Structure 1
């Protein structure tokens, strides 16, 4: 996902892990700061890619997989925001078939793009929008300050 956000071209990147009280699956957050107008361009490329990408393939230690990508609607947050979900069939313990389910919420605030992720298996967990709004408000305040 970091490739899609272009964090390789960001001038600074910070990652954070969120451990949830009632879940064994972690969530996460990434802040990527860009120079000039790079954040707008990067976000635009991600938005364009989400219009055409619905499936992709990859390889992990368990073998080749095909992932499905689907956009989700969220309220407008920050200067620009979008959300999508990636589901990946995986082989669970004892050969059981499971579905890895990842939600991504991406928000641009000025020259910073922040990404919030939520992981679950066989369920579709959602990153709490209250927390996204709170973090984005802090980010906007820090850029004004």
Structure 2
């Protein structure tokens, strides 16, 4: 029977989960198994409490319509679904946009990135940090903030 070396015995593999990650429709969960000794992610998968059924309702639909349909699924991340549909179509049809097309695409993605972050931060996340919410949920933190120079 082979024995393990001291290095092999010290391998630190840790399971880590973030579930739920709130402020995402369907409460996303991320589950990982990480080998910190060898700096490797052994397993990583995501789960969601919501079933959207893209693969079911897109059956029989012309793939060229996918970006129009999938972008309407979510009020926040529609561009992400549209982008994935367009990139998949490019791969499926062997389309390589010209450099100016890639630039226009990247500029549009950047604009949506800024828009998404404004919506998320201002309308979904920052609500947790407003004075009224902190006063109700964590009054000692509010008192500390008020007394901080």
User: Is TM (by shorter chain) over 0.5?
Assistant: no
Q: Tell which has more relative contact order, 1 or 2 (C-alpha 8 A, sep 6+).
A: 1
Name the TM-score class by shorter chain: under 0.3
Structure index of larger Rg: 2
Query: Higher helix proportion, which one?
Result: 2
TM-score, structure 2 normalization? 0.26
